[in-house]
Structure 1
Amino acid sequence: MTPIDPDATQSALEANPGLPSDAQGPVFREPWQAQAFAMTLALHARGLFAWSEWATMLGETIKAAQAAGDPDTGETYYHHWLATLERMMAEKAVTTRSDLTTYRDAWERAAARTPHGQPIELKTGDFVR
């Protein structure tokens, strides 16, 4: 994985006060969480959104989840992060919700056939609709 720019990380921490972190920076329980964080930093660096815009949308996502019963224990923070990233990319027409669904479903099919501990590889057949 590509190292994350420390200055970008600091900006993200300042803009997102709920971000799970310790003295060294963001804390991730799963590799996908670090990847979602890194993708967000990269998209921000490319000027797709301002941190204030991101923080507002992430807050909306978290509030909606709380209203739907999320206990807000911190366990679901990166699920909200990823949902926000998907929503923002769809709203900015970087991708579509349909494409996101297609790739998520393909990933789930690939993961289901992959033995534990092996790399997951997407194949053409994973994209059947």
Structure 2
Amino acid sequence: MTKVEPLTPYQATDAIPSIPRAGNEPVFHAPWEAHAFAMALALNARGVFAWSEWAETLGDEIRKAQAAGDPDSGDTYYRHWLATLERIVAEKGIATREALAQHRAAWERAADRTPHGTPIELSTEDFHG
């Protein structure tokens, strides 16, 4: 693990200038975006990565998405954040890419069967779809 000083959300928004914000506050358009942001802060606090490593990996994920046709209109920013989170977690050996894909598929199955406005709950069956 990398020895780093954990950052507060305010420090993180300063360290990663591309974070969508209103004033000095990060802006999230959906709860999952805030959750992804919080997971990155938690992993940084545990020393999994330094913000310089995060920024470099995020930049790489954004460039890859742009090369694949992402219009870079700002509304996909946290998709890149999530891709960065998954990549770092896999590269650091915290979870395999296969496990991440399995959980993503289970989440999609659970979301498909959940009525709008109802909390999504994963079940064992979601992992055997």
**What are the within-5 Å matches in structure 2 for residues 38-53 of structure 1?**
38-53=38-53
Does the 8 A contact of 2:44 with 2:50 survive in 1?
Answer: yes
Report the alpha carbon displacement of residue 23 of structure 1 after superposing the two structures with TM.
Answer: 1.6
Does the 8 A contact of 2:106 with 2:126 survive in 1?
Answer: yes
- Return the alpha-carbon distance in structure 1 between the equivalents of residues 36 and 30 of structure 2: 10
- Return the alpha-carbon distance in structure 1 between the equivalents of residues 71 and 109 of structure 2: 30
TM norm structure 1: 0.92
Aligned to 1:77: 77
- Return the alpha-carbon distance in structure 1 between the equivalents of residues 114 and 64 of structure 2: 34
Aligned to 1:19: 19
Instruction: State how many pairs are aligned.
Output: 123
Aligned to 1:3: none
**What are the within-5 Å matches in structure 2 for residues 88-107 of structure 1?**
88-107=88-107
- Return the alpha-carbon distance in structure 1 between the equivalents of residues 24 and 15 of structure 2: 17
Does the 8 A contact of 2:86 with 2:100 survive in 1?
Answer: yes
Higher RCO structure, 1 or 2 (CA under 8 Å, sep 6+): 2
Q: What letter is aligned with 1:66?
A: Q
Deviations 1:9-47 (A, max 9, x none): 122112211100012410000000000000000110010
* Unaligned runs of at least 5 residues, structure 2: 1-6
- Return the alpha-carbon distance in structure 2 between the equivalents of residues 25 and 46 of structure 1: 23
TM norm structure 2: 0.92
Q: What letter is aligned with 1:111?
A: A
- Return the alpha-carbon distance in structure 2 between the equivalents of residues 112 and 65 of structure 1: 26
